[in-house]
Copies of this chain bind each other. A is one copy, B any other.
């Protein structure tokens, strides 16, 4: 079976590391594990997630998982960090200060809602992490400054709105952000129990659109003069 010893053709031996990657590709394996882990943790929580299941979803095996990430807890933390980096990075691209204050806040509300809608795994991970009282997030060194930018930019927009007389003086940046996040998070993360007890399918497009308008309406109504 092994006939490679006979022909010293050196074929491709000059290539650095770009084409023979069809079978062996550390980067892709690593990324596949991270992606599989994100889905597994999101669907089953930290306690319910199975290491074997992650390896299988990634099309690899446990040995590689432990090789790249250490253990289950470190892998989980990596997944969580990447999720936060994802939303905060997308948020920065918004530049909510470029428009009028009112439009800026509306923009942020719309963005947050739509991001939550398109990334249910992010909401799930937050839920799991909070069940454990931020046990792993607290250990993260990467995420300390990641969020200050958001509050800073939001604060600027609110100040401008107050100066223009369109926002009330008591409007607080953290409260505004928490309001926007609350309305999106609860509706989506609790959609299953809510749909069950109120007998209305909340994920239906009609209701989804109505809630999107509602979020913008509530957010602006709470800070407009």
Contact = CB atoms under 8 A, between A and B. Distances in A.
Contacts of A133: 192
A147 interface: yes
A151 B200 CA distance: 12
Interface in A94-152: 124, 126-134, 137-138, 143-144, 146-147, 151
Q: Chain A contact residues: over half helix, strand or loop, or mixed?
A: helix
Interface string A179-200: 1011101110111111111111
Contacts of A178: 186-187, 194, 211
| Chain multiplicity (copies) | 2
Nearest to A210: B175
Interface string A184-225: 011101111111111110000000001100100110011000
A48 B135 CA distance: 15
B127 A196 contact: no
Contacts of A179: 183, 214, 218
A5 interface: no
Nearest to A195: B134
Contacts of A214: 175, 179
A160 to B, nearest CB: 21
A130 B127 contact: yes
A161 interface: no
A192 B140 CA distance: 14
Given A45-B48, A179-B183, A185-B182, A190 B130 contact: yes
Contacts of A127: 127, 130-131, 189
Interface of A: 44-48, 84, 124, 126-134, 137-138, 143-144, 146-147, 151, 174-175, 178-179, 181-183, 185-187, 189-200, 210-211, 214, 217-218, 221-222
5 contacts: A124-B131, A147-B198, A179-B183, A182-B187, A218-B221
